[in-house]
A and B are shown apart, each in its own frame.
Chain A
């Protein structure tokens, strides 16, 4: 995506435009400055905090301790679950939202009546603020005694299910997937609508089955938008916080890395350990970003 977008942008470089270069740098500088001040500087500070012993309640007592904070973090019983939870959350949300979004997009594309209204219904969850969707799901739908899902379960003769007590992480994943499914759906729908009709008709004339057309023509066509959906969702899922904050309030069963940093810094006032966890979260994001950008790049080259 990026390489292609930029190279075409650079194509407009005219010979008489060099004089603009200096002024251009001036125009870009404020944006770069703000980003430096809010991302790189704090990251360097976090790195420094992660190698000193720094407790909020005993100021002035900070001293260099090397990797001690990392040792404490890695042996902390909360660390491994948080790392695993981060992976599971992202994997579950991506799977549900992309498979569901694809199915819905295929349906809407075939629908003949009221496609505009369908889009409005489907996109709505995407614009709902995270704490609102989390609390509505937790209380109105997933509440085990009088929630709507308990009523549905009752109709089918099933026992009510205590979602947040039994499977908190999956429950949170469902809520978050509900918010991102519309995004995946609309992106894939846009892409489906740009699929060449003649190509499909030619394949049909050649006797290709619907499944073969989907597998060999439509899925490859969707590879690029899917890669972009995965990338954008992952960016936002890495900092998932509010949904955990308002539903379970943390705990081993549902804390991700972001929540671990929050609870260590804001609830236990242990800046050193929290910073170490923050650095681990950044490393985790970078590893993910590395594979993502490679995967996205590969699907773009194809």
Chain B
């Protein structure tokens, strides 16, 4: 018995070391964000004993680009996610509760569009956007991100709605509930957690999306992905400032992710892993 306890204690210690190693790059960046540039580049590195400073955060936020990019990220991720839900909820509802012979094919076709790499569409989309004045607009990018996340949302909502027993809806209808009552009073409370986690997942994916946002925006609509990518130019390599900007950029979705990690990760498997 004692040997078994010792081994499980060893496993626990090992698990903590491994998890810490996985998170280390982020923890290191967090520490670096509180250092001066001199301190950040010091070799050997200093772990906790250095003069802590908030100067980097002040510098990043004083740069107007940060708040403009933050606003664009919120508009693009929020707008595209709202659009996705507006299209996916009716579609998933119809496919879950009134399936036809085409439902299965439609669902698979939607999933197959995710197999189509965006580069296959880049050039026509770019040229079309250029001619229609949609380049460097938050609306243009949000539309594409919505299309990219739509299949995921439909699948998540579909498998979520399916878990609602159809008998309950039928019983409500027997009792004379109108369609609105059926949806609002019976279905919504049961489907709300699924709706919320769908929204958070597609919001996170849109927030982090870095193909369309980097290719279709330049100045006016540039979100945080472009703001961070600008740090890659060699003359702009200030580690402490890069770290502070990184922390400010990932914080919102990291917090969302911590709160609904189970649903988000499971959502990406289209309900196939329970």
Contacts and interface: CB of A to CB of B under 8 A. Distances in A.
B26 A128 contact: yes
B121 A35 contact: no
Contact of A104 (B19, B90, B106): B19
Q: Which 8 pairs show the lowest CB-CB distances between chains A and B? A: A242-B210, A42-B121, A45-B124, A20-B98, A24-B94, A38-B147, A127-B257, A27-B90
A262 interface: yes
B252 to A, nearest CB: 10
Contacts of A281: 117, 119-120
Interface size class of A (residues with CB under 8 A): 35 or more
B211 A139 contact: no
Given A129-B250, A137-B25, 12 more contacts: A12-B166, A28-B91, A40-B113, A43-B120, A119-B261, A120-B261, A121-B20, A127-B253, A129-B253, A132-B228, A228-B269, A245-B210
Interface residues of B, number: 106
Given A178-B25, A232-B269, A281-B117, A118 B16 contact: yes
Given A124-B23, A131-B228, A187 B265 contact: yes
B104 to A, nearest CB: 5
Interface of B: 8-9, 11-12, 14-16, 18-20, 22-23, 25-26, 28-29, 32, 41-45, 87-88, 90-91, 93-100, 103-104, 106-108, 110-127, 143-144, 146-148, 150-151, 154, 158-159, 162, 166, 170, 204, 207-208, 210-211, 214-215, 224-225, 228-229, 231-232, 237, 239, 242-243, 246, 249-250, 253-254, 256-258, 261-262, 265-266, 268-274
Given A1-B272, A20-B97, A262-B119, A141 B28 contact: yes
Contacts of A223: none
B119 A108 contact: no
A133 B121 CA distance: 26
Given A110-B15, A125-B23, A279-B120, A262 B239 contact: no
By secondary structure, the B interface counts as: helix
Contact of A128 (B90, B100, B144, B254): B254
A126 B115 contact: no
Chain B CB within 10 Å, residue with most, of A37, A128, A151: A128
Given A23-B94, A123-B258, A131 B108 contact: no
B273 A225 contact: yes
Contacts of B97: 12, 17, 20
Interface stretch (A72-80, A165-173, A211-219, A233-241): A233-241
A13 B210 CA distance: 41
A28 B158 CA distance: 12
